[in-house]
Amino acid sequence: MADELQCKALSNLKQVLLSLISSLGMLQTGMVLGYPAVMIPAILEKEGSNSTFSVNINQASWIASLSSISTPIGCLVCGPMIDGWGRATTIKIINLPFILGWILIALYQNLVLIYIGRIICGIAIGLSSIPSAVYITEISTKSMRGAVTVIGSLEISTGIIVIYLLGMIFTDDYQYLAWLAAGVSITSTLLTLCFLPESSIWLLNRKKKLDAKKSLIEDHHADPRIAQSEIESLAPTTQENIPQSKWDRTIAQLRKPQSYKPLIIMNLFFLFQQFSGIMVVVVYAMNFAKDAGITTHVQLVALSIAVARMISILVAAWTSRKFGRRKPAIFSGIGMTISLSILTANIYLQDPAKSTETSEVSWLPVICLLLYIFTSCVGFATLPWSMIGEVFPTEIRGVASGFTACMAYVYSFLSIKFYPDMEQHLGEGGTFLFYFLASAFGTIFVIFYLPETQGKTLDEIGNDFAKRDS
């Protein structure tokens, strides 16, 4: 009995460690997303002693959003890559564009090169968005899946906190920050090369049973007999070779309800997620805080936002494992809607003259903003990325996940790029009213359509979609 408990503990620990290593691309994603929040205020205001050039509002919006517009390219490419080359192999490759992008930003104070560097980093974000989610889903047991699938979101928040802290330490020196970020990417490359085995499910799909057995032992610290038993249980999940081209099989699979239903649901979930302002608050942290009615200590508030994200994602790991997917998602949507409604009302009701004259912190918008961050990360910000690796059938998991992530970043680009225009044309109140409506409709959607996947095998999830009526 003691040996069995020790074996299970070692298995769980190994799953967590592999999940952390495979998600290092998400750590870099957080750094890329948070970078404009510390760079743009400095080069807009030209207050930093190390900043020798400035940009206008339009150029700044392109710096913030270019990574999002190029991210879908990486998403579309990574789907075929993880299906054809393997989950672990793809994860090992995706660090290279991160390194190149950061070096271009760090080398010269040149707007064009910054644009190019941001575009390359955006492609890297797309490449890293799916492989780790799919890999973690396939190497984790169903009892651990709810906890480890939020590790990607946790590492994104960690990356945001790291870049915010470094931005506070090395004020205005965006080139030095880029060099440090490149160092993180190089370290990630070495760790994934040394410690990441291939997914056993992918190996079984390639009819590599011996390799799959070895991978299972590495993944779960299991003895050969347990590994062989796992292989037999996983066999129904994989597909026999049939005389069809790859794309013919994909199209045929997409006609099945277990494929097109989760594709529609996940794309709509991401649509409501992005249009409720979840990514805007990361990229434009200090501007977002000012628009919410916070007029002092905005840099500290921005860091508090990042810390709140991390804490809430740790909470999400626990709630997802204990309560599943639906209940945290519904709680998240309701909490976002309430906090955004109060923020919107506060903006319309506050006295602009009084807010600009006082140096005191207005605690109502601070509390509501942190509540919005906390509740969003418990569900809306994390669950779509956690579920994307588990709701699609194995045969099209790479392609369907890649397409869904591609659309998620298209929505993200639109929300980030047009945030300054919304501020200008709708005002702060109108902008937050838009986010309130998106979160409200998103909550209604989740209540009626989001399925429960926690505690189910991948085959059981697919069977549920096949049985459900539209």
Same domain? For 172 and 294 the reply is no
The answer to whether position 208 is within a domain reads no
- Phi and psi at 243, nearest 5°, equal -75, 65
Q: Are residues 269 and 366 in the same domain?
A: yes
| pLDDT at residue 454, rounded to an integer | 82
CA distance 185 to 180: 9
- Residues 19, 162, single domain; the answer is yes
One domain, residues 175 and 261: no
Q: Is residue 211 part of a domain?
A: no
| Closest C-alpha among 68, 75, 65 to residue 406 | 75
- The answer to whether residue 218 is domain-embedded is no
The tokens for 60 are 């700044």
Mean pLDDT of the chain: 81
Is 251 contained in some domain? no
Identify the pLDDT of residue 199.
82
Residue 325 lies in a domain: yes
Count the helices and strands in the chain (H runs, E runs): 25, 0
Within 8 A by CB and 6+ apart from 251, the residues are none
Final residue of a domain: which of 169, 196, 223? Answer: 196
Domain assignment present for residue 101? The answer is yes
Please report, as a single letter, which amino acid is at residue 214: K
423 and 333 belong to one structural domain: yes
Do 392 and 314 share a structural domain? yes
Contact 78, 126 (CB under 8 A): yes
Whether 71 and 179 map to the same domain: the answer is yes
Does one domain contain both 178 and 37?
Answer: yes
- The 8-class DSSP code of residue 61 comes to H
Do 324 and 440 share a domain, yes or no? yes
Last residue in a domain, options 196, 224, 241: 196
End residue of a domain, out of 153, 172, 196:
196
What is the rounded distance in angstroms from the CA atom of residue 127 to the CA atom of residue 72?
9
The reported pTM is 0.73
| Domain enclosing residue 279, as ranges | 256-351+360-469
> What pLDDT is stored for residue 216 in this prediction?
58
Mark whether 189 and 266 lie in a shared domain: no
Which CATH number do you get for residue 78? 1.20.1250.20
Identify whether residues 95 and 164 lie together within a single domain: yes
Please report whether residue 250 resides in a domain.
Answer: no
Residue 330 inside a domain? The answer is yes
| Residues of the chain scoring pLDDT < 70 | 1-3, 45-53, 207-247, 285-299, 301, 351-362, 468-470
Cα–Cα dist 171/269, whole Å: 37
- Residue 385 · residue 133 · CB < 8 Å: yes
Half-sphere exposure of 310 (CA within 13 A, CB side): 15
Name the domain count of the chain.
2
pLDDT in tens, 327-353: 999 999 999 999 999 988 988 887 554
Q: How far is CA 392 from the centre of its chain?
A: 18
pLDDT for the residue 286 = 66
pLDDT at 388: 85
Query: Do residues 271 and 192 share a domain?
Result: no
235: how many CB neighbours lie within 10 A of its CB? Answer: 11
pLDDT given for residue 293 in this prediction: 61
Residue 256 has a pLDDT of 85
Predicted local confidence at residue 49, as pLDDT: 46
pLDDT in tens, 190-237: 999 999 988 877 787 776 655 555 555 555 555 555 555 555 555 545
